[in-house]
Amino acid sequence: MTFQRFLKVKLIQLFFHTAFWSAVLIFYSYFFSIGNTSFENAFSFSLFLMPTTIATTYVSVYKLIPDYLITKRYLRFAIYSSYTLVISAYLVMASVFFSLIYLSGFEYSEMNPATKNIILVLGAVYLIVFVISAFKLLQYNLKQTQRTKALETKILEAQLKLKEQELNYLKMQIHPHFLFNTLNTMYGFALQKSESTPEMILKLSNLLDYLLYQVDKPKVALAEEINHIKDYIGLEQMRFNDTLNVSFEVKNCSKDISIAPMLFLPFVENSFKHGAIKDGKLQVFLEINCEDERIHFYIENTRQKQESSSKGIGLENIKKRLEMLYKNRYTLDIKENEYSFKVALNLDLHD
């Protein structure tokens, strides 16, 4: 804040404070002139009472409340408030004594009727102190609420950015893994100079488009994920030739259903990567069934008895993505035995 701006703010504060205490002085003057024809005496008494009222108010709003009440130092707040009360009461008594000496010439009967009642005078002073303190306390509470909300918003934004970075990191891990497998397949076809190479390149092109551009979207159509699963299966069928037997069924899935991208494809990729030919065939059974805003995904593949139990980085990443994107809205059951590997994923699409 520049000096000019600081000076401007302070001048505005001074103006409002002066205007407010002038209004309090006028209130006191009319209040203490009740029952007395001399407004001048009531004004003089009020003028002498103003320093006590101002001092007590400022001690309350700028010292007692922020330093002890807001900071929850209640014992010190009670002690110093008691000191303030005693000292201010003493000063009010001095004001009454001033009224008796200088304004009434030690004639009690000549005193302003309102100033004779010490309880009334104390009540007038502490009424102002209480009202201003309550208002200031409300301001402190509102500011604290705003600071708390701002802090919560910053924390939430930081958490969202962290989650987004983590999710992007997981996607980046999936990309090289997926590309490595598909490019290996394409390389094999190129060596064989197969006539199926153009078709394979087209399927791979579709997969790359999905992988590089569509995967950054928060959601894609389930039909789009299914089509790319079919492209991937088509690539693997070209690679395995007669040694692959794939069954892929899709039931009751409408075009309106959307899911996070690359959600099912890593499971399919994992089946081919870790699957093994048994009795001359690699068997892969895949089913996607949709029922009432729920998706049931199931995949099973054959494996050899000596196959390692490692599920690979792809499955670990997909578990993390599921936890981030569908927390408390999914179940994932992975079972394996000596001859098969099974994955059952149930998704609840209700937000």
| pTM summary value | 0.52
Cα R_g (the chain), whole angstroms: 41
- Torsion-angle region of residue 246: left (phi > 0), alpha (psi -120 to 50) or beta? beta
CB 114 within 8 A of CB 120: yes
Q: Give the other-Cβ count within 10 Å of 176's Cβ.
A: 10
The lowest-confidence range among 40-44, 217-221, 314-318, 342-346 is 314-318
Contact (Cβ atoms closer than 8 angstroms) between residue 45 and residue 125? no
For residues 100 and 115, what is the distance between their CA atoms, to the nearest angstrom?
9
State the sign of the Cα–Cα–Cα–Cα dihedral 300, 303, 308, 312: negative
Give the tens place of pLDDT for each residue, 41-98: 778 888 888 999 999 999 999 999 888 888 888 999 999 999 999 999 988 888 777 7
d(CA 178, CA 207): 10
The CATH architecture that domain 194-348 belongs to is 2-Layer Sandwich (3.30)
- Our measurement of the distance from residue 317's CA atom to the centroid of its chain's CA atoms, rounded to an integer in Å, reads 25
Q: Which residues in the chain are classed under CATH 3.30.565.10?
A: 194-348
Span 295-319, pLDDT tens digits = 999 999 998 765 554 455 567 778 8
Q: Which residues of 245-258 are buried (b: 16+ CB within 10 A; e: fewer)?
A: ebeeeeeebeeebb
